[in-house]
Every structure is written in C-alpha cells, then in structure tokens.
Chains A and B, each alone.
Chain A
Amino acid sequence: MDIRPQAVAIPAETDHLDKGKYGPIYPKTPACYGFSILAKIIPGREPVFHEYAKSLAAAVTAQPDILAPLKLHYLRWLLFPINGDTYFMYQGIFDTDFDKYTEDAVALFGAAGVRTVFENLEGFPMDWQTNPEGFAKFVRAHQVPSFLEYGEYPFFSSDEIKKALKMKSAVTEMLDQLQ
C-alpha cells in the first residue's frame, strides 16, 4: 500500500470556490476538513478558559465517546497575547464538512451539557444553543483559512485509522495465540 504524503497550497482569493450559506466552501485537503478560529477574549476571562479545560477533560473521561459523533482527529485550544490583549485560537481537524455539521455540533454540545468556551469571546452570540446560524456566522467571521496544509497520511478518516489500529491489535493477538 502506497501512503504518499501530500501538501496543498491554498490561494488567498476565494472567487473560484463554490459559495455556501456562510461563505466560500473550502474543499477537503490532505489534512482533512478543519478550521482555525482566532478571536479576542473578554478581558479578564483567562481563568474561565482553564476551568473549561478541566471540565471538558473530565467530561471526556466520564464519557469517552462524547465527541465521537463529530468525527474528529484533533482539537487544539490556545491563548496568546497581542499588544496586551489575550486572544484565543481553536483549531480542529475532522472528517465532516463544518458547513454541513454546524447544527450537529451545537446539538451535541447542548445535549452533553457542555457549555462552550466560546461564550467568553467578544461578540459571541449568547443564544448559540437555539441559534445555530448565529453560531456558524460567528465562527465563519473569525475563521482564518490556512494557506498551506499537509497530510503525512492524506485524506484518511479517523474511522479508518481506528479500524487499522484495531486490526493491528487483533493480528498481534492472533500471532500471540499461535506461540
């Protein structure tokens, strides 16, 4: 099997892209679907972000498949300073098209009782749980598209990767049993 790494340069202009409800539709890249959201936090809220980190980690420990329906690979949350203000970056890599699954994400977070840390960002719609359009518009307004993406194992879904790991484990188990 040939697993050939791929990189793709993403042009700044979006005129060539199809337009969806919330703006240009960014195609899947070798690094799957994903987004990077950058926004200024409400001043003084830094501790809330750290509390949120603990509560989300605890929620995943208690219910490991809580985010599984989002078909994620990785999520990263960052806080960093610019000119004395604190900014937030959220970067997600997943297999589903965000434009299509916005409402699902909102419904999943809502059903799991997980508040979103986005509530501590300036301009975020506080009625997000009943206003997925407002949620999507905020996200799109603060999304910074990549200009370059790379995949070491391009386009593989998290389902395929998990299946491959289970297969490896099953084969290992089988070989052990043959000793």
Chain B
Amino acid sequence: MSTQLELDDIQSGVLRPRPTPYVATYIAFRVDDRNSGRDLMRRVSQVVTSAANPTSPLADTWVSVALTYQGLKALGVPQKSLDSFSWEFRQGMAARYKDLGDTGESHPDKWEQPLGSSDLHVVLVAVAPDSERLEAALNRASEAYRAMSGVTAIWRQDCHALPTETEPFGFRDGISHPAIEGSGIPGTNPHEPPLKAGEFVLGYTDEMGGTQTTEPEILGRNGTYVVFRKLHQRVAAFRKYVKANAKGSGEEELLAAKMMGRWRSGAPLALCPLHDDPALGADATRNNAFLYEADDPTGLKTPAGSHIRRTNPRDASIAGVARIHRMIRRGTAYGPLLPEAVLEDDGADRGLMFAFVGAHLGRQFEFVQSQWINDAVFIGAGDDKDPIVGSDLNGANFTVPRKPLRKRFEGIPQFVVTRGGEYCFMPGLRGLRWLSELDT
C-alpha cells in the first residue's frame, strides 16, 4: 500500500502543475515586528489553498506563501526549531553562490536588491490562468497584508506566459513533471515510476528510506523547500550564436535543438531526431514519454551534454543515482518578448522566474546545479557545462555526437545570468497556523 499524502494540508503551489497558459506574481516582504509577521501568517493561511480538490473551479488560481530562514528568525521561531531545518536552507542562496556557479556576472554582489539580502523574509506567489483572475487572487491576498504595520512589501515581480507558450529563448516550457506517490497527480513520463512522497514533501519516506522532520513536527510536516531564482536570458546572444555556428535555418534549428534536447515545439530529439514534429511537441501524452539508455546510450540523438538530458538523465549511464536528484521545476517568463529574427539586444530585461520544489535542497537543487549543469564528470565529459543555462560559461564547450565524427562547439558565451533568488520553506497549512500562534 503506497503512502497517501495529506493533500488538504499541503499548499497548492507545491504539487499542482500550473495551468496553461498562466500568469504569476511574486511579492516579497520584510517583517520588522514579529507579532505582525505572525499575524500575516494567520491572515495568509486563510487565503492559501490546499492541494486537495483538484477539480474545483478555483483549482487553477492559487496563492502560496513561503518563508526564508531569515523570515523564520524574524517571526521569533525558537533556535531549536531553526536548527532542525536543512543546512543549505539555513545558509541561504547568496551564501551558496560558489556551489551554484553564481560567479562573474551572476555574483550576489550584482544581484537585484533586495534579493539575497537578510531583509527578504516572506515570499507570496499568486498564480492564475489569466490576469483578471490573478488580480482577484492578488486582491484577496492583499487584504491579508494591506495596512499592516511591521510588514512591508519590498519587491515584486510580475510574470506571464508568453503568447508563444514558450520560454524567452523560444522553446516550449513546462513539459516535464515527475509522478509523486500518493499525490494522485500523474507524471508526464510513463516510463518513470512515481517517486516517493518524501522526495517532495517533509514528513514522508523518501527514496533513501529516510524521513525529514522538524522540531516540532507540525512546523515542517507537509511543507517543502522552494527555490526562487530570477534568471535573465540573453535571447539575442543565443540567436546570434546559433546563427554564427550553423549554415542555413535548417541547421540552425538542429543546433538549437541539440543544445536543448528538444525542438522549439517541445518535440524531443529522442523521439524525432531528424526534424521537428510540432504535433508531437504539443501532445502531452507523448512529448515526455522516453528514456535514453537502450536507444541512445552515446547521445547520437540527444547529446549527453544537452540541457534536458543533463537536468534529467532518466536511465542514462551517469555517475550516481539519478532518482535521488529529481525535482519539480517550474518556470514563468518575465519581461517583453524579443521580436522574432531580431539579433541585436534591445536592452530590455527578460528571462525566467525559475522555481524548484523539493524536500532536499542539497541532493536535489544544489546537486543538479553544481554536478549536472556546471560540470560534466557525471557524463565523462570533463568540465563542459550546460550549453544553455551553464554558469559563467564564456568559453565553454559542447559536443554533439555524430557519425562518423562528432561536432565540437567551442567558446559558447553565457546566455543566462542570475539576477538573484532565495531558498524558502513553504509550510503546510497547519505549519502556517503554528507560526501564527508562536508566543516567544
């Protein structure tokens, strides 16, 4: 008998795949007075929806709330409880910059303020299928914090699905989602057995057989760690690189697909290696239904160094065990679309708000970032990096296996720059109420 998750205590934002299309807003708060902060938790807990009732008409519109380590401290959470959270969470994202590859232009010293600072305490996320419903959700949420002294909104980021339903580089996004035991929410790859609930939610058995708990248990149970990262994308530079390194539009599209592991339509190279197949790309029942090892061990179809094979190697031969490094990943675009075929940067800030959801910041988010994205020992390719999202690239290499000879691309510039982010904890609804009732 498999575990059943307590969906009525888990915030919607943890498990529920986002609607398509959708819009989202992130709002960050500083808490100057612990009692106000606790009151904010009480009010917000009445607005936050649980992951239960997925068929309700409101299921696609939700508000989630998460706290940073500094935020838990600002609310007066006792030290014993603080110490029961994961080591990485307690450090915060900025302190982990070296492991995350946030160096050079992505260094925390250059981050958008107040991201990475100790002022960022609470993050509220509202998600809806359109801006009208988002506005309604934000209005409900703002009743929770409007006119509260001691709590100040210090940062806001509006995001939206692009009309093309792609991320800013032009690839269909949001395709892959793991199946989670006991959630009732199906995964997108029928060949991947569901992952243990404890990989994504605290208080349940994980793939290692362990269970993460906090002190007291109610604070952490049904909660999870969430990583937010604002990633600026150099769309013009990406287009220019592809154009300069391929002959003609057909070859350009193939190179872009080899770097990503999918064609722009979302169709995976694993299933259509020679040409795009937009119908396959748009078909959620087929576009993630594949493995690598039996069919493509050397990466002749999907290069081992491509973005999607690095960030989810599935059953491919790699160092370590892929299943303990899986994550729920979500991305929402921000900023204006760069018009098609434009090759010069227009100076606009555009990119992606990246969100990670998982119970293990160290062996999931940080591992993927340091070992799979910014290194290549795990695939036997030395110090190559992810050709699309690799950090501080400037001169990295990317190999496309081909018969009879491989093709090596050198001097890949950096296409993605970290503008900031933070490690947060998204408590269960009972955990939120526990926070609101603190009396230290």
Is the CB–CB distance between A157 and B377 below 8 Å?
A: yes
One of B98, B323, B324, B377 near A18 (C-beta < 8 A): B98
Is the CB–CB distance between A69 and B382 below 8 Å?
A: no
Residues of chain A in range 96-118 having any CB-CB distance to chain B below 8 Å: 96-97, 100-101, 103-104, 106-108, 110-111
Asked if B171 lies at the interface with its beta carbon under 8 angstroms from chain A, I say no
Q: Size class of B's contact patch?
A: 20 to 34
Is the CB–CB distance between A100 and B382 below 8 Å?
A: no
Kindly provide the distance from the CB of A67 to the nearest chain B CB, expressed in whole angstroms: 11
Is the CB–CB distance between A157 and B380 below 8 Å?
A: yes
Is the CB–CB distance between A129 and B209 below 8 Å?
A: yes
Kindly provide the distance from the CB of A18 to the nearest chain B CB, expressed in whole angstroms: 6
With both beta carbons as reference points, the residue of chain A lying nearest to B210 in the complex is identified as A130
Asked if B371 lies at the interface with its beta carbon under 8 angstroms from chain A, I say yes
Q: Interface stretch among B228-236, B259-267, B312-320? A: B312-320
Asked if A172 lies at the interface with its beta carbon under 8 angstroms from chain B, I say no
Kindly provide the distance from the CB of A166 to the nearest chain B CB, expressed in whole angstroms: 12
Interfacial chain B residues near A129, Cβ < 8 Å: 208-209
Q: Give Cα A100 to B364, complex, Å.
A: 10
Kindly provide the distance from the CB of A34 to the nearest chain B CB, expressed in whole angstroms: 14
Asked if A149 lies at the interface with its beta carbon under 8 angstroms from chain B, I say no
With both beta carbons as reference points, the residue of chain A lying nearest to B360 in the complex is identified as A103
Residues of chain A in range 139-167 having any CB-CB distance to chain B below 8 Å: 157, 159-160, 163
Number of A-B contacts (CB under 8 A): 65
Given A107-B324, A157-B380, A159-B380, decide whether A21 and B362 contact each other with a Cβ distance below 8 A.
Answer: yes
Asked if B363 lies at the interface with its beta carbon under 8 angstroms from chain A, I say yes
Where chain A touches its partner, the secondary structure class is helix
Interfacial chain A residues near B99, Cβ < 8 Å: 20
Is the CB–CB distance between A96 and B363 below 8 Å?
A: no
Interfacial chain A residues near B208, Cβ < 8 Å: 103, 106-107, 110, 129-130, 132
Q: Size class of A's contact patch?
A: 20 to 34
Kindly provide the distance from the CB of A149 to the nearest chain B CB, expressed in whole angstroms: 18
29 contacts between A and B (CB under 8 A): A18-B98, A21-B87, A21-B362, A69-B318, A69-B320, A71-B377, A95-B319, A95-B377, A96-B371, A96-B378, A100-B370, A101-B319, A103-B208, A104-B321, A104-B324, A107-B207, A107-B208, A107-B320, A107-B321, A107-B323, A110-B209, A111-B321, A129-B208, A130-B208, A130-B209, A131-B210, A157-B377, A157-B380, A160-B382
Report the 9 A-B pairs with minimum CB-CB distance, sorted nearest first.
Answer: A159-B380, A104-B320, A130-B209, A130-B210, A107-B321, A71-B319, A21-B87, A103-B363, A104-B321
B residues with CB within 8 A of A:
87-88, 98-99, 207-210, 317-321, 323-324, 362-363, 367, 370-371, 377-378, 380, 382
A residues with CB within 8 A of B:
18, 20-21, 68-71, 95-97, 100-101, 103-104, 106-108, 110-111, 129-132, 157, 159-160, 163
